[in-house]
Structure 1
């Protein structure tokens, strides 16, 4: 009996590892079939990239608690450093969050209708994400959950756009865009959220939020190195 729990833990770990490996293989192979017309992700505040811009890419799941916790300190860093930082968020729907794909798809729908409020909707998902947790929607159909998400998003976009938001869930293009986001994450080796890249290099401890002090410890040396190189 004493070995039962360790064996279960090892079994779960092996199963998770196999799942991740298979997902990465399938996503990588499938991603080779076509190249999207535009680079994946949502640009924060439409900032521009210059020679000395520090580029941050964040892979986030709208219904992931760790993604939620990672956003406030990252946003604080973005406000502090201003245009020195350029952020691109890629939605990465984790398969074990039942509504991750639909909420990520909602971000693509919103971005298509009004890109200026995409991050506002993302923050709304983070603030009220418990509405879309697995247990809360267990007895709901996918169609009813999508309708719930549509009404939720309309609170930001405008209730007059509810029909357009809901029609977005039947639009093949938004489905493909959300798949591309997931495939792109797989191609970069992303296995969980939050997952960050700075200037193209992955940060350690993926799946964990970085506090404001942590971001300053990452960014300040880069700005210092840039100043020395001038």
Structure 2
């Protein structure tokens, strides 16, 4: 995300919000909450610190922010959960189709969702920039299907390919975009911790910064749990 685009993207997000609000009672929420849960994370908000990350599979800043976040998640284990949301940015080539591929794979084999995301991060040059300028959408989708098959397994080729012919994955990806807009997200990466936007959001959050953010929360949560378990000690 380049700062020069912030004002434009804010306006675009505002327009999406206007559309969502204008449909009123005709708007039906999706059947499930948006996002992918990382590994064995828990969404029980009473038992975990929840990080929500908004990523674009072909965004270089999203790619660069992932390794330190992943390192932090491994450090804290079950004490911290990650819910990943997708925001396919309109100025990133093939952001929508790569996001759609992630929704398809998540439906088929949820354990392969994050490996596929990491594959996209490692091979962004295949689907982003001048390399794809003269390629048809059909060709790009076929390349994405082949790439996803390498990650998930050859037996999934037809299922992934058929997923691009199914309106369900298109709908899921649109919902992801609309959900991000409804949260005021206008670029990637964006991070929320326990529902609050981080002021230093973006690729600049390294492992030490994550530790600085989360360590006090882990300590505070331990104090709360002690109060709940032995309230008579604190009267």
TM-score over 0.5 for the pair:
yes
Matching of residue 160 in structure 1 with residue 159 in structure 2: no
Looking at structure 2, the residues matched to 14 and 198 of structure 1 have their Cα atoms a distance apart, in angstroms, of 24
Q: 1:218 maps to which residue?
A: 213
Q: 1:30 to 1:135 in 2, by over 3 A?
A: farther
Looking at structure 1, the residues matched to 126 and 17 of structure 2 have their Cα atoms a distance apart, in angstroms, of 29
Is this contact kept in 2: 1:28–1:186, CA < 8 A? Answer: no
Q: Structure 1: which 5+ runs fail to align?
A: 1-8
Post-superposition shift, 1:154? Answer: 0.5
For 1:1-80, what aligned pairs fall within 5 Å after superposition?
15=8, 17-27=10-20, 29=22, 33-48=27-42, 49=44, 51-80=46-75
Is this contact kept in 2: 1:67–1:209, CA < 8 A? Answer: no
Tell me how large the CA RMSD over aligned residues is: 2.1
Give deviations 1:66-120, integer Å, cap 9, x for gaps. Answer: 0001100000001000000011101110110120000000000000111111100
Give deviations 1:206-229, integer Å, cap 9, x for gaps. Answer: 343410001000000111212333
What secondary structure, in the 3-state scheme, does the structure 2 residue paired with 1:45 have? coil
TM-score, normalised on structure 1? Answer: 0.89
What secondary structure, in the 3-state scheme, does the structure 1 residue paired with 2:131 have? coil
Q: 2:110 maps to which residue?
A: 115
Is this contact kept in 2: 1:63–1:126, CA < 8 A? Answer: yes
Post-superposition shift, 1:204? Answer: 1.1
Is this contact kept in 2: 1:40–1:181, CA < 8 A? Answer: yes
Is this contact kept in 2: 1:27–1:186, CA < 8 A? Answer: no
Is this contact kept in 1: 2:14–2:181, CA < 8 A? Answer: no
For 1:138-177, what aligned pairs fall within 5 Å after superposition?
138-177=133-172
Looking at structure 2, the residues matched to 220 and 65 of structure 1 have their Cα atoms a distance apart, in angstroms, of 27
Q: 1:105 to 1:14 in 2, by over 3 A?
A: closer
What secondary structure, in the 3-state scheme, does the structure 1 residue paired with 2:130 have? coil
Looking at structure 2, the residues matched to 98 and 88 of structure 1 have their Cα atoms a distance apart, in angstroms, of 24
Post-superposition shift, 1:187? Answer: 0.4
Q: Structure 2: which 5+ runs fail to align?
A: 227-235
Runs of 4+ deviating beyond 4 Å: 12-17, 27-32
Give deviations 1:31-72, integer Å, cap 9, x for gaps. Answer: 971210001111111322362410011110000000001100
Looking at structure 2, the residues matched to 96 and 215 of structure 1 have their Cα atoms a distance apart, in angstroms, of 28
What secondary structure, in the 3-state scheme, does the structure 2 residue paired with 1:55 have? strand
Q: 1:208 to 1:29 in 2, by over 3 A?
A: farther
TM-score, normalised on structure 2? Answer: 0.87
